[in-house]
Amino acid sequence: MYKVFVNDTPIIITSSSKKENIFPVYNFKNVVIDEILHKLNNKELQGVHLYSTDLENDWKSFLTNMKLIPAAGGLVVNPKKEVLCIFRNGVWDLPKGWIEKGESIENAAIREVEEECGISNLQLIKPLITTYHIYFHKGIKLKQTYWFLMSSNYSEKLTPQQEEGITEVVFKNETAIKDALKNTYANIQLVYQKYLESDVL
């Protein structure tokens, strides 16, 4: 299954015929992707299931409709099991950014966390999840973000990267995280849920 968000409305591409929510179901072979994207962007649909009989090939077909923008980021925990969060453009988020040419995914994830948060002593633990988000800027772009679970014992003052629109960087405990998740993106909720399900707690 692949879950792609347009704003915070999902396109769920799946080989399962089980209906799990109220979203309409279409056969992948019978839809025009641009029309689906247009309806989601205009909030004519709250989400959509695209049923596939050949998931990997249909996913490749889906990707041909847009330019892929690779990015990487991290969910960072400290020794207290608090999670590093950033406040950017009025929304709670996790640090992430574009992968530079010739840069490995892992190095990009660590660099972006360091730059956006003013943190060091990062240890990469393991890959968590890959999320997908469509946005419209000079055509259709699909941001593919590789997320990693990281740890850090850094205890100095954190510095938000203000030129990236970040105004606050803070480690949040479980209670504060639940509150922050009320004002975040659907993809960030997926990343945090994956962290909770991981066996590294």
Length of the chain: 201
**Lowest mean pLDDT: which of 109-113, 132-136, 167-171?**
132-136
Kindly tell me if the per-residue pLDDT of 201 is higher than 70.
no
Domains and CATH numbers, the chain: 2-63 (no CATH), 72-197 (3.90.79.10)
pLDDT in tens, 77-127: 999 999 999 999 999 999 999 999 999 999 999 999 999 999 999 999 999
pLDDT mean across residues, the chain: 94
pLDDT bin (cut points 50, 70, 90) of residue 200 is: low
Q: What is the pLDDT of residue 40?
A: 92
Q: What is the pLDDT of residue 18?
A: 75
pLDDT bin (cut points 50, 70, 90) of residue 65 is: confident
Transcribe 35-65 into DSSP letters. HHHHHHHTTS-S-EEEE-SSHHHHHHHHHTT
Q: What is the pLDDT of residue 13?
A: 96
Task: 26-34: list long-range contacts, CB under 8 Å, 24+ apart.
Answer: 26/50, 26/51, 27/51, 28/52, 28/53, 28/58, 28/61, 28/62, 29/53, 29/58, 33/62, 33/65, 34/65, 34/140
**Lowest mean pLDDT: which of 33-47, 110-124, 168-182?**
33-47
Average pLDDT rounded to a whole number, residues 135-159: 94
* Residue where the block lists tokens 């999840």: 129
pLDDT bin (cut points 50, 70, 90) of residue 15 is: very high
Longest CA–CA separation in the chain, Å: 55
pLDDT bin (cut points 50, 70, 90) of residue 17 is: confident
Q: What is the pLDDT of residue 110?
A: 98
